[in-house]
Amino acid sequence: MKIYRTLRQAFGHRGWWPGETPFEVMVGAVLTQRTNWGNVEKAIANLRDAGLMAPDALARTEPERLQALVRPAGYYRQKTARLLRLVTWLMDRAGGDIEALREVPTDELRAELLALSGIGPETADSILLYAFGRATFVVDAYTKRIMARHELIDSACTYDELKDFFESNLPADVELFKDYHAQLVELGKRYCRTVPLCGTCPLHPLLGDPVRDEEL
């Protein structure tokens, strides 16, 4: 927990995923794919203003209308199709009620989400962690970049390998996983965009001190 403690000390608790409801978090997870969050917020506001931030209403919306609302988030044709598939799944599976999925095992839900075209590992795990409250670690571009730059992982490792690396070396705690991922994104945004290895990065002082798996 050395890395986590260091980040948390630097940035404070983040907890993080903007969204008024679990359903909005789920929608945001699709809209934010390869997209700046500022653009996602515009699309979310459009959906909210149109009264479509609810599973049943969204599922019944015409694709053409949805495309116009989702447009600011980019890739709007793809994202419209992805949102409709996701919300249709939620309606079919649980009548649109995320709470009703409470008894379903996480692995099962993950497999069902991944089976939807347009929902890959990161989007599925974001939904599981931040919308469904499951202890699933989310790996994103920042996570991989940060871990590789600090030579904690092989830069060629896969999504699942990196996810397992975190999950097998941390207690399976939802709040910890949420905040840890948020911390890594914050670090990535501030220090890990262009500079290969930045001396002012809060993790920098740890480098002389070999970081072992259990010190994640």
Partner DNA sequence: GTCCAGGGCCTAC
Partner DNA sequence: GTAGGCCATGGA
Q: How far is the CB of 212 from DNA (least distance, A)?
A: 26
72 binds DNA (CB under 7 A): yes
According to the binding rule CB under 7 A, does residue 74 interact with DNA? yes
CB-based contact 162:153 (threshold 8 Å): yes
Among the residue ranges 72-80, 92-100, 147-155, 205-213, the one whose residues contact DNA (CB under 7 A): 72-80
Main-chain phi, psi angles of 154, to 5 degrees: -80, 130
Q: How many residues bind DNA (CB under 7 A)?
A: 42
What is the contact mask toward DNA in residues 86 to 125, using x (rule: CB under 7 A)?
-------------------------------xxxxxxxx-
- Tokens representing 136 are 């699933």
H helical segments located in the chain: 2-11, 22-31, 37-49, 55-59, 63-70, 76-94, 106-114, 121-126, 141-149, 159-167, 174-191
Q: Which positions ≥6 away from 162 have C-beta within 8 Å?
A: 139, 143, 144, 147, 153
84/124 with CB nearer DNA: 124
Q: For residues 46 and 30, what is the distance between their CA atoms, to the nearest angstrom?
A: 15
Q: Does 46 bind DNA (CB under 7 A)?
A: no
Using the minimum distance from each CB to DNA, give the nearer residue, 65 or 205.
65
Distance of closest approach, residue 121 Cβ to DNA, in angstroms: 5
Question: Which positions touch DNA (CB under 7 A)?
Answer: 16-18, 28-29, 32-39, 42, 71-79, 117-124, 126, 130, 140-142, 156, 185, 188-189, 193-194
